[in-house]
């Protein structure tokens, strides 16, 4: 093969899709007089992302799909004699992979990554900064292991660090020395990324890893310019800079993705994870000089159009500050055919349902034949195909998709969801405006996200309809995150930890800001106004009822004290138990209790009680509050959200029972009256007989 000029990145801009084929005559980057793939100056990196190991692992048909494709990727690494493998996140599908999934994954790594073959790349940066485990070393430099194929990976949104210790499944592979896990962020409000500095001969590469962070939070951090990529002090221009990230690339809403303009200008190549559509060929950025490769997932985790495209991994070859890229197809991926039909075009009357079913059945048959032709002669030829037919049934009635799919049992891999019925939505002014190039309509974008309905979306819609529906105490974002961790990542104590953390952070903040006893009441009211505004109310009106604290330094300790009312009724207070199952859930709506002094005594030091009291204690305070206007006993002023709709599975008509415990019920003769709102302070008047 004769020598050719080094291929510049710009040569990829007009590359045609038919070049995405394995071609043994493909030109290599010439270095001096040799095209040896193990040339001492060429860094060869196999890139892949979103492997989702363990996806549907219990499915009798599709259970092995993710492992088959990942093993094919590792075989490519051996065949192509690459120097390393670079993964872009979501190695695992589940945040807590099953024992079987971990076993099979470690089995593959041991089979393909251990051996006597020498590693030809040098690690040049401070390993204690790059790796968070206690060993602080790249695996192939550990004298206790024979690593022949180094694998570097960041985490994605599926396998991100959670729970006690902030550990991810990748930490298990890292401490086992099978994977070099990097890209973990300690402070998401102030992100500093230190690159992995690698060298091979005259080529130097800096790899910046940014594991998945919630897109809205990362967008806010970028806006504050608090994302810093640290560059080598010496010879900055000699490094080829690679950024690996796992975030939304498509704008699901204006603040839910990473825009290319947020990427530093000195970056040369971006490996983009998270998006499953395969766009593996490097595309020139519209705002910078870097190129973006989006390999997509190696297994279909959704029956969507993006997943139906052919899947590839890529070989990135770098020489100094120049590169070339070659895609390689994954032949073990299950065949997937997707199409759509419109029943109105069938010329069949809507009442002739049998004819409609027969017409749809013929279409599915043709799709199965198409899948056979697509996989003919490939390793996946014997696999049952995935078939997805979108049916526009506007003007027609639907049929049972599961019952229809039984006709193709044993012929397709997904008989229960072959059909997807949908209707045309009426054109609205906002959608027409979006089509004509107007403002971004977030609602229209969300409507296009099929099969992506989330519980958090329902909560957001419910809490955001009117101001009175919004949460007043807890943060909605924190609630969403804890709920997501509880459901998707099996973190059973995530909600409890969120409440505990919110309470402690509020207490710490208030205590740090109180510098003068005279400013205490005003500051508390302002803090509540700013952070937990009540709709159509003014919290500052509580100021006249509060007395200044005599000793501000006692504030923090008093927050953790047990309430005297609790002792009177024989109830103990456990500070570690944030939520008592015997209590009503709207105890969380309580904020802080400020006690006014007795009318016939000098003003004592104000005491403050946390919200973790039992319902009996709160009921006692309620009765004490109702008697304050006629008696000289202590009065409890409670900032309450009884009238809000924050309770889960509670009716508004049950507000009068919210604070009665099972152990102590209020006698009929002492029933409480309704709540009357005075400013932001809830007071109960005695019921009229």
Strand ranges, E, within 536-616: 593-596, 608-609
Q: What is the DSSP string of 354-405?
A: HHHHHHHHHHHHHHHHHHHHHTTTSTTTTSPPEEEEEEE-TTS----HHHHH
Which residues lie closer than 8 Å to 76 by C-beta, 6 or more apart? Answer: 46, 313, 328
pLDDT means per 10 residues, the chain with 689 residues, are 36 35 38 54 98 97 98 98 98 97 98 96 95 89 96 97 91 96 94 97 97 95 95 90 97 90 96 98 94 98 96 97 97 97 94 95 97 92 96 94 96 97 72 48 42 57 62 72 74 78 77 64 68 49 42 44 42 40 40 39 42 43 45 39 41 42 44 42 42
Block residue for tokens 């279409």: 363
Q: Tell me the two tokens of residue 409.
A: 């049992």
CATH number of the structural domain 336-422: 3.30.110.110
* 609 vs 31: CA distance, rounded Å: 73
Looking at the chain, which residues constitute the CATH 3.60.21.10 domain(s)? 39-329
What residues does 283 pair with on adjacent strands?
A: 292
CA atoms within a 13 Å half-sphere pointing along the CA-CB vector of 408: 28
What residues does 317 pair with on adjacent strands?
A: 44, 324
pLDDT for position 81 = 95
pLDDT for position 16 = 35
CA atoms within a 13 Å half-sphere pointing along the CA-CB vector of 341: 20
pLDDT for position 221 = 95
Looking at the chain, which residues constitute the CATH 3.30.110.110 domain(s)? 336-422
Q: Which CATH class is domain 39-329?
A: alpha beta
131 phi and psi angles, rounded to 5 deg: -120, 130
CA atoms within a 13 Å half-sphere pointing along the CA-CB vector of 418: 26
**444-to-407, 432, 440, 447, 557 alpha-carbon distances in Å:** 35, 10, 9, 5, 51
* 371 vs 336: CA distance, rounded Å: 7
pLDDT for position 473 = 63
pLDDT for position 668 = 45
Antiparallel, parallel or unpaired: β 84-87 and 151-153: parallel
Q: What's the pTM?
A: 0.65
**Cβ-contact 93, 66 below 8 angstroms:** yes
Residue 601 is given by DSSP the state S
pLDDT for position 614 = 43
Block residue for tokens 């799909």: 65
**Cβ-contact 371, 335 below 8 angstroms:** yes
Q: Which residues are catalytic?
A: 158
pLDDT for position 527 = 67
Q: Give one word for 490, left, alpha or beta, with left for phi > 0 and alpha for psi -120 to 50.
A: left
Q: What is the DSSP string of 329-351?
A: E-TTSPPEEEEEEEGGGGT--TT
**201-to-181, 261, 314, 351 alpha-carbon distances in Å:** 25, 33, 22, 74
Q: Tell me the two tokens of residue 22.
A: 């394995």
Q: Tell me the two tokens of residue 9.
A: 């990145």
């Amino acid at each position: 093969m004769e020598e050719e000029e080094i291929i510049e990145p710009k040569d990829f801009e007009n590359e045609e899709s038919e070049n995405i084929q394995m071609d043994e005559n493909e030109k290599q980057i010439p270095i001096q007089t040799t095209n040896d793939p193990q040339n001492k100056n060429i860094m060869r990196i196999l890139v892949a992302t979103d492997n989702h190991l363990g996806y549907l692992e219990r499915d009798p048909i599709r259970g092995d799909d993710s492992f088959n494709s990942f093993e094919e990727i590792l075989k490519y690494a051996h065949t192509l004699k690459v120097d390393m493998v670079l993964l872009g996140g979501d190695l695992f599908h589940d945040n807590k992979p099953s024992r079987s999934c971990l076993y099979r994954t470690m089995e593959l790594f041991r089979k393909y990554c251990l051996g006597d073959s020498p590693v030809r790349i040098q690690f040049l940066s401070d390993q204690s900064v790059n790796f968070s485990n206690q060993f602080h070393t790249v695996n192939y430099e550990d004298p206790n292991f024979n690593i022949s194929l180094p694998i570097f990976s960041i985490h994605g949104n599926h396998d991100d660090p959670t729970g006690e210790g902030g550990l991810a499944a990748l930490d298990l592979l890292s401490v086992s020395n099978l994977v070099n896990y990097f890209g973990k962020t300690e402070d998401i409000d102030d992100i500093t990324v230190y690159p992995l500095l690698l060298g091979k001969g005259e080529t130097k590469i800096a790899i910046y890893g940014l594991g998945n962070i919630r897109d809205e939070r990362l967008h806010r951090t970028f806006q504050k310019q608090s994302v810093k990529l640290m560059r080598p002090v010496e010879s900055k221009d000699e490094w080829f800079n690679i950024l690996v990230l796992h975030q939304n690339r498509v704008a699901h809403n204006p603040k839910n993705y990473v825009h290319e303009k947020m990427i530093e200008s000195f970056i040369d190549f971006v490996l983009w994870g998270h998006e499953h559509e395969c766009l593996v060929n490097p595309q020139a950025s519209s705002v910078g000089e870097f190129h973006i490769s989006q390999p997509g997932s190696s297994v279909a985790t959704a029956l969507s159009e993006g997943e139906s495209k052919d899947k590839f991994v890529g070989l990135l070859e770098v020489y100094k500050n120049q590169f070339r890229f070659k895609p390689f197809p994954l032949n073990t991926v299950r065949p997937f055919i997707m199409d759509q039909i419109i029943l109105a075009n069938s010329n069949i009357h809507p009442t002739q349902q049998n004819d409609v079913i027969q017409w749809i059945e013929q279409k599915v048959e043709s799709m199965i034949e198409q899948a056979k032709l697509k996989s003919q002669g490939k390793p996946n030829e014997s696999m049952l195909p995935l078939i997805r037919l979108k049916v526009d049934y506007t003007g027609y009635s639907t049929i049972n998709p599961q019952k229809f799919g039984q006709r193709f049992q044993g012929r397709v891999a997904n008989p229960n969801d072959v059909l997807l019925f949908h209707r045309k939505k009426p054109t609205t002014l906002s959608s027409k405006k979006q089509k004509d190039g107007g403002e971004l309509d977030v609602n229209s974008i969300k409507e296009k996200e099929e099969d992506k309905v989330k519980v958090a979306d329902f909560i957001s819609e419910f809490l955001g309809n009117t101001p009175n529906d919004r949460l007043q105490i807890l943060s909605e974002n924190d609630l969403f995150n804890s709920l997501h961790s509880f459901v998707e990542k099996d973190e059973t104590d995530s909600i409890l930890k969120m409440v505990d953390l919110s309470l402690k952070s509020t207490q710490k903040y208030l205590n740090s800001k109180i510098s003068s006893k005279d400013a205490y009441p005003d500051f508390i009211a302002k803090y509540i106004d700013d952070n937990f505004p009540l709709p159509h109310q003014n919290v500052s009106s509580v100021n006249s009822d509060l007395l200044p604290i005599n000793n501000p330094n006692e504030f923090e300790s008093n927050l953790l004290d047990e309430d005297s009312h609790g002792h009177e009724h024989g109830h103990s207070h456990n500070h570690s138990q944030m939520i008592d199952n015997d209590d009503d859930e709207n105890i969380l709506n309580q904020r802080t209790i400020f006690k006014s002094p007795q009318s016939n005594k000098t003003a004592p030091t104000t005491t403050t009680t946390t919200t973790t009291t039992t319902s009996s204690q709160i009921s006692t305070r309620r009765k004490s509050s109702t008697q304050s206007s006629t008696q000289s006993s202590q009065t409890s002023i409670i900032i309450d959200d009884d009238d809000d709709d924050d309770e889960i599975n509670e009716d508004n008509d049950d507000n009068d029972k919210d604070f009665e415990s099972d152990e102590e019920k209020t006698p009929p003769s002492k029933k409480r009256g309704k709540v009357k709102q005075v400013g932001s302070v809830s007071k109960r008047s005695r019921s009229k007989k």
